[in-house]
Amino acid sequence: MQKSERLNKIPPYLFAEIDKKIAAAKAKGIDVISLGIGDPDKPTIPAVVKEMHNAIDNPKNHDYPPYEGTMDFRQASVDWLKRRFNIDIDPKNEIISNIGSKEAIAHVFLAFVDPGDYTLVPDPGYPVYKNGTIFAGGTPYSMPLLEENGFLPDFDKIPEDIAKKSKIMFLNYPNNPTGAVCDLEFFKKAVDFCKKYDILLCHDAAYCEITFEGHVAPSVFQVEGAKDVAIEFYSHSKSYNMTGWRVGFVCGNKDAIQALGTIKNNLDSGTFKAIQQAAIQAYTAPEEETKTLVEMYKERKDVLENGLKELGWEIIPNKGTIFLWEKCPKGMTSEEFATLMLEKAAVVVPAGIGYGKYGEGYFRIALTQEVDRLKEVIQRMKDAGIRYQ
C-alpha cells in the first residue's frame, strides 16, 4: 500500500500530537493541566440544547439537508450579520452553511487552487491554511506576523511575482494564535491588494465575538467593495460553546460561494437540519449570556497574565480570542519550553513552531480551564522554577 505524495508533505497535525502527549502523561497517573486545544470547557447555551431536542423529534429534519444550508438558517445568519455589522448579504446566493469553519476552509482551496498556484497565509497561523493549500497541490507563501507590526502582515513585503501567482489570501482577526486584532483600515489595505492582483480574500472570523478592552471586531464587508473579492468564514464554535456541533457559515462574493458550494456538493451532504435549527436559536441568546462568556475569558486572561508577570514575563497585549501568545524564556526553543512545561509542571502548552516558522520563540495558552486550575498552573511553574529569565 502506497500513500499519496501529498500526505508526505503534511506535517503531523499539531493538535493530534498534543492529544498523544496528554494521553501518555495521564497513562502514567500524572495530573495534567492542558492549555493546548481551544475547546471551550463550558456547556453549550441551554436554550440551544433545548431547541436541539425539539428539532430531533421532528421527522422533517431526518432527511438530507439542502447542500447550501436551510433557507431558515441562511436567513437567520444574514439577519444576525445585519444586526451585528450592518452589512447586507443575499441569503439566496451569497451565503452557504458549513460543517464548522475547518471543513469550509479546507474545501475553499480545492475550489480555487491548482498545482503551481500560490496562496498567501499568515505565519504563525491556523495549520489548515497551509495544509489545505498543500492538499490542493498549491504552494503556501508565508506572510510573517511579527510582534513589532502588531502581528499584522505587511502586504508591501510580498514579492510581486508571488502576488501574481497567488489565488487566495487568508486572514484571521481576532487572530489565532497571537490574539491580535485589526481595524477597518487594515482590511481596506487587504481588499485593495487583493483587487490589484485578482486574489480571493478569505477572512476567518471564528473569534469575532470574543474581544476585550472595548474592542469590537469588524467585518471585512464593512469596507466598500470588499464583496468583489472577499468571503468571510463564521463559526458557532467559540461564540456559543458549540465546538462539537460543527456548524457555521461562509458569506460574501457570490461566485466564490458558488464555487465552494460545488466542492461541497460533491464531497459532503451538508449539516444535519436539526443542528441548523438549534444554531438559529443561538442567534437569539440573551446578551448577558454572551457577555458573561467574554467576562469569564477576561478573568482567566487576567489571572494568567498577572501570574506570568510575577515570573518575569513581559506580557504581549491581547484584545481577542481565547488564547494568550507569549515569548519563551531566553535561550529556549518553543519545543524545549513546551517539553519543560510538560515534564516539570505537567502543563500542556503548544510550541509556537507548530503554527509556522515565525511562531518560533513563542508558546500559546488556551483559556479553557477554570480559574483555580490556572492559578495552579502558575504555582506549578513557581514550584518548578520556571521563569522567563
DSSP 306-317: HHHHHTT--PPP
Record the pTM.
Answer: 0.94
- Decide if 303 is inside a domain: yes
Average pLDDT over residues 309-320: 95
If asked whether residues 324 and 253 sit together in one domain, one would say no
pLDDT grade for 13, boundaries at 50, 70 and 90? low
If asked whether residues 122 and 14 sit together in one domain, one would say no
- Decide if 342 is inside a domain: yes
Low-confidence winner among 89-93, 101-105, 140-144, 319-323 (lowest mean pLDDT): 101-105
- Please say whether the beta carbons of 205 and 219 come within 8 A: yes
Tell me the pLDDT tens digit for each residue of 156-185.
Answer: 999 999 999 999 999 999 999 999 999 999
Tell me the pLDDT tens digit for each residue of 242-276.
Answer: 999 999 999 999 999 999 999 999 999 899 999 99
3-state secondary structure of 252: strand
pLDDT grade for 4, boundaries at 50, 70 and 90? confident
3-state secondary structure of 85: helix
User: What is the number of structural domains in the chain?
Assistant: 2
Within 8 A by CB and 6+ apart from 187, the residues are: 203, 218, 220, 222, 223, 226
Tell me the pLDDT tens digit for each residue of 116-137.
Answer: 999 999 999 999 999 999 999 9
- What's 351's DSSP letter? B
Domain limits at 342?
5-43+287-384
The answer on pLDDT for 229 being more than 70 is: yes
Q: How many CB atoms lie within 10 A of CB 249?
A: 29
The answer on pLDDT for 25 being more than 80 is: no
Query: For position 289, what pLDDT does the model report?
Result: 81
If asked whether residues 262 and 299 sit together in one domain, one would say no
Query: For position 14, what pLDDT does the model report?
Result: 61
- Please say whether the beta carbons of 181 and 132 come within 8 A: no
If asked whether residues 263 and 293 sit together in one domain, one would say no
Q: How far is residue 188's CA from residue 41's CA, in Å, rounded to a whole number?
A: 36
If asked whether residues 229 and 319 sit together in one domain, one would say no
Average pLDDT over residues 132-157: 97
Average pLDDT over residues 182-206: 98
For residue 91, give the CATH number of its domain: 3.40.640.10
The answer on pLDDT for 287 being more than 90 is: no
For residue 350, give the CATH number of its domain: 3.90.1150.10
- Decide if 389 is inside a domain: no
If asked whether residues 103 and 39 sit together in one domain, one would say no
